Amino acid sequence: MKSKPLFVQCDICASSAYNHYFDRNDGQTVVQCKDCGFCYLNPKPDQRYLDSIYKKRSYFKNNTNTIGYSDYFCYQQGNMFWQIMKKKISKILKSKISKCLDIGCAAGDFLQLMTRDGAVGYGVELSSYAAKLATEKNLVVYNKKFEDVHFKDHFELITLFDVIEHVESPTQLMKKVCSLLNSDGLVVITTPNLYKYYLDGKQWTGFTNSHEHLYFFTPNTIKQLLVQSGFTLLKIETYDDYCYPAIIAYYINKFPTKYYLRGITRRLFIPFSSLLKKLNFGHTMIVYATKK
């Protein structure tokens, strides 16, 4: 008989009541809080083990997606996502950004993009390998845990791209983020969307891949987390890389038959992308919030 998971309280509401939700193929169990609906690993892996994973160079390039990335930097090559995010942020923050903070900045690609427009940018990155790549771009990056970095400054923009599902306590993380954000500042979060599990079932990559993920958010639970941490939710968008129109268009332009493929994109992918966005069923959530 399978042993009962060790007790872990819900990080959002501190409830000790939960139901079994899913058994991952790495032997870890996902449970769902009975009170607020938040899903998380129970028991959680040893934190020292998790920290050691992120410090390895192989986290960014290995032969499998079960831990980390098959090739993070190949994926980032020519990726339009950072350009898209920059445009989205500029539509919300009308004024020029003077200071920004990217938590979990990896090699600093987004941070570099922001500093080109004159912003003073800071990054935090646990991986010494990725942090070194970022500092080689003349970026200010702290190679340590976010909770161990003490900033005197406040920021107009704080970003957490694919970070919140990894940390020991999302609640403690977001409370510190709130304390560092200007009163009129913006926080932007991306994280896998658990709603996609309802479409993909057991094949959802949020469970089959990235076994270092500890928490699994829906639009409802990410809103609960933000509100109790001192934020006002502005909006949530969802997307899939394979049906994001701007990303598809970028790669289509590289093919000699691009005019033919553009027609296919307009007829198939873009309507599908729009439907997923409206229903909040895209694989990844983009969350925008301001300080209360």
Q: What is the pLDDT of residues 147-168, one digit of tens each?
A: 999 999 999 999 999 999 999 9
Are 79 and 29 found together in one domain? no
C-alpha of 100 from chain center: 17
Are 25 and 170 found together in one domain? no
In a domain, residue 258? The reply is no
Are 19 and 90 found together in one domain? no
- pLDDT class of 252 with cuts at 50, 70, 90: low
Are 8 and 142 found together in one domain? no
Q: What is the DSSP code (8-state) at residue 7?
A: P
Are 24 and 95 found together in one domain? no
- Of 89, 83, 122, 91, give the one whose Cα is nearest residue 104: 122
Are 69 and 26 found together in one domain? no
Are 118 and 35 found together in one domain? no
Would you say residue 265 has pLDDT above 80? Answer: no
Contact 65, 250 (CB under 8 A): no
In a domain, residue 263? The reply is no
Are 29 and 100 found together in one domain? no
Q: What is the DSSP code (8-state) at residue 97?
A: P
In a domain, residue 262? The reply is no
Q: What is the pLDDT of residue 32?
A: 97
Q: What is the pLDDT of residue 4?
A: 46
Are 186 and 225 found together in one domain? yes
**In total, how many domains does the chain have?**
2
Note the helical H segments in 8-46: none
Phi, psi of 197 (to 5 degrees): -60, -30
Q: Is the dihedral of CA 66, 7, 37, 231 positive or negative?
A: negative
| Spatial separation of the C-alpha atoms in residues 210 and 222, rounded to whole Å | 19
Encode pLDDT of 81-96 as tens digits: 888 899 999 999 988 8
Contact 285, 222 (CB under 8 A): yes
Encode pLDDT of 224-250 as tens digits: 999 999 999 999 999 876 545 555 555
SS3 122: strand
Are 72 and 210 found together in one domain? yes
Encode pLDDT of 46-77 as tens digits: 878 887 887 777 677 666 666 666 556 655 54
Are 192 and 91 found together in one domain? yes
- Of 222, 131, 132, 140, give the one whose Cα is nearest residue 173: 222
Q: How many CB atoms lie within 10 A of CB 257?
A: 9
Structural domain for 54, as ranges: 46-241+282-291
Q: What is the CATH number of the domain that holds 67?
A: 3.40.50.150
